[in-house]
């Protein structure tokens, strides 16, 4: 989603836009500083994030930051956000079954701290 409140997604078919206009969207995205103060994303040239869970390890979330200029990739972060930290009914647990702990890769990754 692009940064902002009640904005349309980066890519959307016209019929989807008609069925779900931005003014009815419950989604929002913004940047906060270390004091929880709003940072104007226009001043940072960030247009928005794209997020997805890792296909091999669903406890990892990939975050891609895109710039305004042709939606160029600015940064890619990999965050460890275990699905068991998400309250029931508020995450993908209803769609994707939990991954057994024994099948998770426990070796340190160059993409993760520690």
pLDDT tens-place string over residues 59-83 = 999 999 888 776 789 999 999 988 8
Determine the Cα–Cα distance for residues 37 and 35; give it in Å rounded to an integer.
5
**Cβ count near 51 (within 10 Å):** 13
Contact 114, 66 (CB under 8 A): no
pLDDT top residue among 50 and 89: 50
Listed by start position, the domains of the chain span 4-101
Please state the pTM of the whole predicted model.
0.58
* Helix-strand-coil split of the chain, %, nearest 5: 20, 30, 50
Kindly tell me if the per-residue pLDDT of 114 is higher than 60. Answer: no
Which pLDDT score is estimated for 77? 94
Residue 87: band (very low, low, confident or very high) from pLDDT cuts 50, 70, 90:
low
Which pLDDT score is estimated for 106? 45
Kindly tell me if the per-residue pLDDT of 14 is higher than 80. Answer: yes
Token digits for 92? 């993908």
Determine the Cα–Cα distance for residues 20 and 22; give it in Å rounded to an integer.
6
């Amino acid at each position: 989603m692009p940064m902002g409140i009640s904005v349309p997604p980066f890519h959307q078919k016209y019929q989807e836009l008609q069925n779900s206009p931005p003014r009815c969207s419950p989604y929002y995205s913004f940047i906060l500083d270390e004091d929880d103060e709003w940072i104007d994303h226009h001043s940072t040239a960030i247009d928005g994030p794209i997020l997805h869970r890792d296909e091999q390890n669903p406890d990892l979330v990939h975050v891609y930051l895109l710039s305004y200029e042709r939606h160029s990739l600015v940064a890619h972060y990999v965050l460890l956000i275990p699905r068991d930290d998400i309250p029931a009914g508020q995450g993908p647990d209803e769609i994707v079954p939990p991954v057994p702990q024994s099948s998770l890769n426990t070796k340190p990754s160059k993409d993760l701290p520690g």
